[in-house]
Structure 1
């Protein structure tokens, strides 16, 4: 602490031995007016503040506790623990949600990849059926067409001839051969059927191409876009077998036809029908037109559109059915 100056209260001390006693001086009269030279803060300007800094009153220490709330029975409860519990629960839910989403995406990706691989395998397997499947599987001796006739009548077709498997040379008219050229020709299989009355004959053909799936899709799109399946100059040729009711079934006897370009197999399926008595047809019709409600042409009235479309559909189904088991995975 700084020494106190003389004249201030509390500065008197008892005299030492041999020291004369100091004379008492009158105490100064207290000032009534404020000192003009005093510091603005009210402290004396001739010395430091006599009150030490540690003598100032200490600030109180406040401890902030956890907030409290009330439960459903108005009982006080701490909120901190509940907030922490909610935070932990939210984090757990977030982790579980991310895991479920990731697993779903991964499973979808794997399933999609497996489905694409299965489609590729089925496509390749269908392309090998021309030499791996027996003829009776591709062209059954008897084909039942339940509801395949006009008005939903049933049909039964009996196979009367099977052409040897061969190339496509001479099997199509020049314009149709040119149209099918982009997909190539690996093998051509054909069979001719007759109905139960033996009054109609129908040739069904399976053209196994050398194309991949995109090429088959392009050809199918072109047939759809340009309506190639309904052009009379793109009709397939029939297969006339000697010694059968189809012996006179030639190009001029074609009455109704259909051509289907598959996209899930490298195959073009077609069928062409006519009368078994070798009569000439002046105005052949696409099967779809001959099957339309109200069609009144002789071809439509005879049901030759149903003959061609019904047989083509069932041979196509048999093709897919025999291509599928080779690619199915055992459970």
Structure 2
């Protein structure tokens, strides 16, 4: 019993274990003669927890404590499981987030089915109607002779910027429109024979004069009964056989009484052009001459009369430019009425 007081006296009080030294440092109590500690050494050092060995730098973690280690019943390890996350609907009621995608997937499937059905119906309808794409536009062009106003096919005034000799501008004014008719006696015999394979559905014609009223030009559109293959075959024949340059295949003009074209007959034809379209069942042509009814001994196709250095009377008068320029612009008006699917620059 007498030894207990001495043991207590040897154990310093924790509240007075450290006291400031004379030089501002800290002196450790209970250790006489010990060096003064710096301020950074006054913090209590961490000690290992009893019963848990301290691993060195070369030690490895226990595989049994890994997240991927298989669970062993009764090993005392805590088990953690993750529940399905919850979201909230428009009324702030909790609901599983996984259910949010189901209506979207269902809506996408319905849209896909409807889209495929509409597309299939459109294709089937096109097959049943016998047209589609370019074929539909081709057939549509063949009906323009009765479905489009004459002023759209043959405008009252046609402007031709750069259409004259040397790039001069031209303006043509319509002086007469022929009633739509069949092709009986509408062409010379040889030209009628060449055009016979494509047939004649309807013929439209109009005659124009230039701004000086010294030239007259008849422009016509022959609406055929042919399909695209027949039109392509005729166009190829005109190109390979040079039919557009033969003066015995010139189109006839349309002369109207009491107009500047009153004397415009077969012997007054000076220049001409014929264009067989392959994207529409139409043949566009034009033939030009003088308004004073003078006869022409040497007519010249528009392509040759427009060549640089051409010295024929039709070339010098610019009648090749009259025929070609007016025919091109009437052809453009025709394609514009069909729509963008068949619109091509001339």
Alignment root-mean-square deviation, CA = 1.9
- d(CA) in 1 for partners of 2:340 and 2:321? 29
For residue 238 of structure 1, what is the aligned residue in structure 2?
A: 253
* Whole-angstrom CA distance in 1 between matches of 2:291 and 2:235: 31
Q: Give 3-state SS (helix, strand or coil) of 1:117's partner.
A: coil
Q: Which has the bigger relative contact order, CA under 8 A and spacing at least 6? A: 1
Provide the C-alpha distance between the structure 2 equivalents of 1:227 and 1:324, rounded to a whole number of angstroms.
Answer: 31
Question: Do structure 1's residue 279 and structure 2's residue 294 form an aligned pair?
Answer: yes
1:247 maps onto 2:262 in alignment: yes
Tell me the residue number matched to 1:223: 238
- Give the Cα separation in 2 of the matches to 1:133 and 1:190: 14
Q: State the 1:309 CA deviation.
A: 0.1
| Structure 1: segments with no counterpart, 5+ residues | 1-109
Q: Name the counterpart of 1:183.
A: 198
> Helix, strand or coil for the counterpart of 1:268?
strand
Q: Compute the TM-score of the two structures, normalised by the length of structure 1.
A: 0.63
Distance 1:274 1:266 in 2: 27
Checking the alignment, whether the CA contact within 8 Å between 1:165 and 1:187 is kept in structure 2 is yes
What is the match of residue 321 of structure 1? 336
Runs of 4+ in 1 over 4 A off after TM superposition: 325-328
Instruction: Give the Å deviation of 1:118.
Output: 1.6
Distance in 2 (CA, whole Å) between partners of 1:150 and 1:126 is 32
Q: Does 1:293 align with 2:308?
A: yes
- What is the distance in 1 between the residues matched to 2:146 and 2:156? 18
For residue 117 of structure 1, report the CA deviation from its aligned partner: 2.8
Which of the residues 301, 305, 309 maps onto 2:320? Answer: 305
- Give the secondary-structure state (helix, strand or coil) at the position aligned to 2:140: helix
Question: 1:156 is matched with which residue?
Answer: 171
- Residues 135-150 of structure 1 aligned to structure 2 (within 5 Å): 135-150=150-165
Alignment of 1:50-65 (within 5 A): none
Determine if the alignment matches structure 1 residue 173 to structure 2 residue 207: no
For residues 218 and 191 of structure 1, what CA distance do their matches in structure 2 show?
27
Match of 1:131 among 143, 146, 149: 146
- State the number of aligned residues: 216
Aligned to 1:120: 135
Alignment match, 2:211? 196
Q: CA deviation at 1:326?
A: 9.0
What TM-score, normalized by structure 2, do the two folds share? 0.61
Helix, strand or coil for the counterpart of 1:278? coil
| Residues 256-309 of structure 1: CA deviation (Å, up to 9, x unaligned) | 000000000000000000000000000000000000011011110100000000
> Is contact 1:200–1:276 with CA below 8 Å preserved after alignment?
yes
Distance 2:198 2:144 in 1: 17
Which residue does the alignment assign to 1:267?
282
- What is the distance in 2 between the residues matched to 1:326 and 1:316? 15
**Taking structure 1 as reference, are residues 211 and 159 closer, same or farther at Cα in structure 2, changes over 3 Å only?**
same
**Structure 2 CA distance, aligned partners of 1:313 and 1:166?**
22
How far the C-alpha of 1:206 sits from its partner, in A, is: 0.2
The DSSP-based 3-state class of the residue aligned with 1:143 is strand
CA contact (8 A) 1:208 1:266 kept: yes
Contact 1:121 1:327 in 2 (8 A): no
Question: Cα offset for 1:245?
Answer: 0.8
